[in-house]
Copies of this chain bind each other. A is one copy, B any other.
Amino acid sequence: MAVHSVTKRFGILTAGGDCPGLNAAIRGVCRAAYDRYGMEIVGIANGFRGLIYEDTKELKPEDFSGILTRGGTILGSSREKPFGAADKDEVAHEKVSAIKETYSKLKLDCLVVLGGNGTNTTGYKLYREGLNVIGLPKTIDNDIFGTDRTFGFDSALLIGTEAIDRLHSTAQSHSRVIVIELMGHKAGWLSLYAGVAGGGDVILLPEIPYDIKSIARHLEKRAKSGKTFSIVVVAEGAMSIKEAEMDKKDRKKYRLDNGPSAAYRVAREIQESTGMETRATVLGYVQRGGIPSASDRVLATSFGTAAAELLANGKYGRMVALTGTDINSVDLSVPEGKVKNVPTDHYMIDTAKAVGTCVGD
């Protein structure tokens, strides 16, 4: 444990989409920083917006007590990206200046940011601008480089799997194909894992463009063996081979014409290809809110206390991370501007195929 002589003072914020475990992580950072190291804590409202518009509040134990099991974030969140689309435009310049000013004015030693790829990337950019920043990886998508797991993923996995369980009985009773869409624009971790956990018959990921003919063959083979129902688990960003070959503009138009949700597009293609009665369900926001799972609380708490440790030791420009069975940290540049996709040779894809699931190809 580190020794430190001067009281440190840091700001903490949560940015990006809601994610189970945020409050558990906030509590972890704050309890360790306050009780163990006697630091001062400034809560920043609504992500980076609170830094830009100076919306902050000193946090005391009563603020971060009793929040371990609560969904959401006591700090509020927003999708504000201060660096904007391009780093150099004028608005971005003003926002970043405002952030730096607030940071100085609040006399912060460090900024702790909890978020996904975007948030940690912003954090890294601020670090390069001279601020001390520590990142915590949170997202239900589990798509951040540098850590084996993000908190939020396990809770979303539980919710998605429970939904698949419920749909199973309906699909079976009514001899139907049911398509369920789970979150995951770019990375298919959630659909892959929930699909395996729920015994999905087809799993479609953004990483593996699907061939509707393969899917149809698979469903027809099941039907022939007497299984007249099927569950198809589809990631938000799943696309057919045809879509994958389109350029961005054409794909956008295609989706506008053929239904905004992957589940509906896939359901229609299945019904047209097989003649089987097919229904679509989009689980939506339900996946990202509410009480965190036990595993997410544990992970979020240990990420939080590890961040406090980095703080105490003055190790800035780092993101806390799970590596195997250890909590570590990586350079905050690691996740920058990237998305950790499911490798097409990942063992879980082979697991899915080995139990008879069609993974789209």
> Could you tell me which A residues sit within 8 Å of B by CB distance?
14, 17-18, 22, 27-28, 31-32, 35-36, 46, 68-73, 76-78, 148, 154, 157-163, 165-170, 172-175, 178, 193-194, 196-199, 279, 281-291, 293-295, 297-298, 301-302, 304-306, 308-309, 323-327, 347-348, 350-351, 354-356
CB of A225 to closest CB in B, whole Å:
8
Nearest to A279 among chain B residues (CB) is B285
B27 contacts A355, CB within 8 Å? yes
Contacting residues, chain B, for A285 (C-beta < 8 A): 166-167, 170, 178, 279, 281
Of listed A46, A173, A305, residue having the most chain B CB within 10 A: A173
B286 contacts A284, CB within 8 Å? no
B350 contacts A148, CB within 8 Å? no
B158 contacts A193, CB within 8 Å? no
**Closest CB pairs A-B (n = 7):** A71-B169, A72-B169, A166-B290, A161-B294, A305-B354, A324-B324, A170-B289
B354 contacts A32, CB within 8 Å? yes
Contacting residues, chain B, for A157 (C-beta < 8 A): 294-295, 298
11 CB-based A-B contacts, threshold 8 Å: A18-B174, A28-B351, A69-B199, A178-B285, A281-B282, A281-B285, A282-B284, A298-B348, A301-B355, A302-B347, A302-B348
A196 vs B304: C-alpha distance when bound (angstroms): 12
Of B17, B167, B197, the contact of A298 (CB 8 Å cutoff): B197
Contacting residues, chain B, for A309 (C-beta < 8 A): 354
Contacting residues, chain B, for A354 (C-beta < 8 A): 28, 31-32, 35-36, 305, 308-309
Contacting residues, chain B, for A304 (C-beta < 8 A): 355
Contacting residues, chain B, for A298 (C-beta < 8 A): 157, 193, 196-197, 348
A168 contacts B289, CB within 8 Å? yes
B324 contacts A167, CB within 8 Å? no
Of B78, B161, B291, the contact of A297 (CB 8 Å cutoff): B161
A305 contacts B170, CB within 8 Å? no
Given known pairs A72-B172, A159-B166, A305-B350, the reply for A35 and B193 (CB within 8 Å) is no
Contacting residues, chain B, for A291 (C-beta < 8 A): 165
Contacting residues, chain B, for A287 (C-beta < 8 A): 166
User: Can you name 13 extra interface pairs (CB under 8 A) apart from A154-B295, A165-B290?
Assistant: A70-B169, A72-B170, A162-B290, A166-B290, A167-B289, A168-B289, A193-B294, A193-B298, A196-B298, A196-B301, A301-B355, A304-B355, A324-B325
CB of A359 to closest CB in B, whole Å:
13
CB of A352 to closest CB in B, whole Å:
8
A173 vs B74: C-alpha distance when bound (angstroms): 7
